Every structure is written in structure tokens, then in C-alpha cells.
Amino acid sequence: MILGAAIIVVSGTGSSHSSPPTPAPTSTGAPATSSGWSNPAGLSRTALPDMIRSHVPAVATVSDVDLLGIADSYCSAWSREADPKTIFQKGVESGFSQEDAQLLMSLSTGALCPQFNDRVTYDAVGWHPGGATSAPPAPAAPATSVGEGTYKVGEDLEPGSYKADCVGHGYWARLRDDSGTDIIANDLKANGGPMRFTAKKGEYVEISGGCTFTKIK
């Protein structure tokens, strides 16, 4: 058994069950793992090991002292702003099933430091029953103001007309692809001044020099 960072290994295996255990009624202090477990019945510290064993068979032979040490280490990790996904993944890598890793985190945190219950929800650990994971972040909206660089219109840059008052050298080019050589139109000002272009979806735009182009329509 390895203790540390709230991770344990028990005989190199995870849980013996194939699906999460059915929670007992909340009046007995059972987990509500989708939102973290708040210990509504006021489960005592000394009763926590038996509660964990009843829901996580993989730790059936682990002593009370070691289980409480593991539970304490979760609270310590949350107080240090540890990443829940990292802690969860280490639990899985140490031999737990995903269900057991999340249950152990939820039961321990709910009993000893419920103020951190938001760290042990399915979304927080990045895993959901049935294999679903938390949704990836939505892609950033195309920009409407850009400086030096190459941009794909419709993804990196909104289609439309753009204007800049360049300081010193300024250059723009509308391109059919990102090779930089298939030019639709371009303009160069060696000494600065106003510049404009209109970009269409699917094109690329290359900008260099002291220019920041902002969409005007």
C-alpha cells in the first residue's frame, strides 16, 4: 500500500464491482457522488473507515488508521489548491477503478472537509459514470482586432472589412491558403498610415509591421 497525495494501491487492483454501489438513504450518511457528499447525518471520524469500506471494496483490508490518513491527505491537497483531475488520475494510475477513485475522494472529503465538496464532483474530476467526460471548453470566438500574424478568416478572424493606422512599416495580404504564396490581394506602406482590407470566410490574412487592424463592418 502506498500512502501520499491521497493515493493508495491495494494488491494492485481496483474495485471488484463493475458499477458504482447504490447509495444508502441520505439519513444514514450515504454519498451523493454527483454533487459531493455533505455528511448530512454527521458521520463521525471514527465511523468513516467502515463507510468507505462499504462503498469501496478495494480497500476492504486497509486499516482504520491508513484510511483516515488517506482521507486527511485529500483535505490537505484541497487546502493547497491541488488539481482534482490530477488527484483523480493518480488514483486510477495506482490501481483503482474510476468509480472507486471518485467515491473515495467524495466520501473522504464530504466527511472531513465538506467545504471542498466542489473538488470531488464528476465535473471537477473530469469523469462521469458510463465513460462520459466533462465537455471540452467552447472554442474562442473569431477575433475582430488583430496585429502581426496569419489568421484563417471565419475561425481566427471574423469576415468583414478592417482598418488600421499603421506606425512605420505596414503590410497585409489576403491569401487563398496558409502557404503565404497564393496571394489574392495585398498592400504595403513603408512609412505607415491608414490601411484597409476586406476578408472573406475561408481565406487567410497575413499581417506584419506596426499595424493593428480592427473590424469596421
Q: So where are the chain's domains?
A: 26-131, 145-215
Q: Residue 16's pLDDT band (boundaries 50, 70, 90)?
A: very low
d(CA 96, CA 104): 10
Specify the higher pLDDT residue, 115 or 19. Answer: 115
Q: At 111, list the grid cell.
A: 466527511
C-alpha span between 36 and 165 (Å, rounded) = 54
A 10 A CB-CB count for 83 gives: 13
Q: Give the separation between CA 59 and CA 100, rounded to whole angstroms.
A: 9
149 backbone dihedrals φ, ψ, rounded to 5°: 150, 180
* Percentage of the chain lying above the pLDDT 90 cut: 44
Reported confidence tier of residue 84, pLDDT bands at 50, 70, 90: very high
User: Which residues are CB-neighbours of 210 under 8 A, at least 6 positions away?
Assistant: 166, 167, 168, 169, 170, 192
Helix, strand or coil, per DSSP, at residue 153? strand
Residue 53: which of 10, 19, 90 has the closest Cα? 10
pLDDT tens-digit series, residues 142-181:
999 999 999 999 999 999 999 999 888 899 999 999 888 8
Average pLDDT of the residues in 54-63: 90
pLDDT given at position 38: 56
- State how far Cα 46 lies from the chain centre: 34
Residue 42 pLDDT:
64
Residue 23 has pLDDT above 70, yes or no: no
Give the phi and the psi of residue 139 in degrees, each rounded to 5.
Answer: -65, 150
- Contact (CB, 8 A) for 171 and 209: yes
Q: Answer whether residue 47 shows pLDDT above 60.
A: yes
